[in-house]
Amino acid sequence: MSLPLYRIEADLKACGATISRQDMANWMMNVHARWLAKVHERMKVELLSHVRIHADETTVQVLKEPNREAKKKSRMWLFCSARCDVPVYVFEYHETRRKGVAQEFLAGWSGTLTTDGYKPYFNLGNPNIANTACLVHVRRYFAQIVKIAGGDAKAASAASVALEARRRIDAMFKVDSKFDDMEPGARKAARDAELRPLMEDFGGWARAQLPLASPKLAPHRALQYAVEFWPYVMNMLEDGHLELSNNVAEQAQRIFVVGRKNWLFSDAPRGARASAAIYSVITTAKDNGLNLRLYVEWLLTEMPNAGELTDEVVDSFLPWSDRVPESCKLDPAAAEKAKEMPDDFIIDIDPDVFDDEMASNAEEGLQRHSGLRHTATQRWKRSGLFHPYAGMVLDVSCYAVILTLTL
């Protein structure tokens, strides 16, 4: 999904196939309307049965959003499960960042919501939602101050408060990492014994430092953020299942961000909604240990022939369903490798240089492109996850399957 359609169009043309990007876009939206929208909706139902959810959102530009200027930014929201046996990721496109989006998505839900410090998350008007805040975001403000000050040595005098805050937070992460493999009950007890004192001490220290910092300077803003959200960070200690960070959502959202850097925008809301569903299916399948190409191929081969798509029938096609063939499943070791791989896995080159070579249709450029595809193929072979779509990221291969099956 990190490869824009115009590059797939050029790639296919180099292989002797002429398929326009417009046709490919229409095919994907058609697949979404007929099948993936139903899968997307049932994934949302499954997610809302969980009692721990992470959330995040990022910008996306949609050129033809009704009654809006093309340059205005819309939002791609992500709601996902905490780390568990049945991970679920639900991307949703909306034109706004208003809190009504989260309110509507989580209407009637009870559980713990982990997020960054975007304030509407903490004011959803649902008394059954407990909030926890991401410690990484608290650390980030102090770490930025240290970086701007010129690193640890210079920060010792120019940004000593930020350096001390970062040191204390790093100590929390180091202690908590010792408990990663524990059962939730034992993890909570260990955190109460070793982590809680560090966190309580930091909260008191930050509150004491806040009035001493100049309101015009960055350390004051960092301390203010920490003090405001520290009670929500502390809430993490109440449940051994919870994480200190919102990384599970941030890392999943990164898949979309990498893609956005390449394809830049969506033409219309219909396409953005189709993208949200595709990102949801692919990300969820990946985290459930599936071979993405084989799973999507199976899904879009069997689902059109499944008759009436009742909720029960659609559920049988979800990534964690017992109906998913064994041939679609990666062995456990390979599945873990897949989770660790960057989603912008294709080729590490300057996109502008690549485009110039292809545009000029130079033989040298085409040969270089082939060589880079070969290099990517070899990397996949070494990983144990190689599949026939040599040179394309795993996510893009799923697009290729979608295109093939809708011809």
DSSP for 284-345 reads HHHHTTB-HHHHHHHHHHHGGGSSS--HHHHHTTSTT-TTS-GGGBPPHHHHHHHHHS-S--
- Residue 144's CB is within 10 A of a number of other CB atoms, namely 15
**Tens-digit pLDDT string for the chain (407 aa):** 567 777 788 888 888 888 888 888 888 888 888 999 999 999 999 999 999 999 999 878 776 677 777 677 888 899 999 988 899 999 998 877 788 899 999 999 999 999 999 999 999 999 999 999 999 999 999 999 988 887 666 556 657 899 999 999 999 999 999 999 999 999 999 999 999 999 999 999 999 999 998 888 888 999 999 999 999 999 999 999 999 999 999 988 887 777 676 666 676 677 888 889 988 999 999 999 999 989 999 999 999 999 999 999 999 999 999 999 999 998 877 667 666 655 433 222 223 322 333 333 333 333 333 343 344 344 333 433 333 332 233 344 444 444 444 34
Q: Do residues 364 and 379 lie in contact, with contact meaning Cβ atoms separated by under 8 Å?
A: no
The pLDDT assigned to 63 comes to: 66
- CA-closest candidate to residue 313, choices 332, 292, 331, 299: 299
- Count of C-beta atoms within a 10 Å radius of residue 270: 17
Token pair listed for 119: 């304030």
C-alpha to C-alpha distance for 79 and 353, rounded to whole angstroms: 36
| Cα–chain center distance at 31 | 22
The dihedral sign for the CA sequence 179, 180, 185, 186 = negative
- CA-atom Rg of the chain in angstroms: 23
- The whole-angstrom separation of Cα 281 and Cα 91 is 9
Q: Residue 27 and residue 278: Cα distance in Å, rounded?
A: 13
Name the token pair of 18. 């002429």
The partner residues of 276 in beta bridges, in order of sequence, read none
CB burial readout 342-359, b (16+ within 10 A) else e:
ebbbbbeeeeeebeebbe
Backbone angles phi, psi at 79, to 5 degrees: -120, 130
Give the model's pLDDT for residue 14.
86
Determine the pLDDT at residue 68.
Answer: 72
Which pLDDT belongs to residue 404?
41
Tell me the C-alpha distance between 158 and 163, whole Å.
Answer: 9
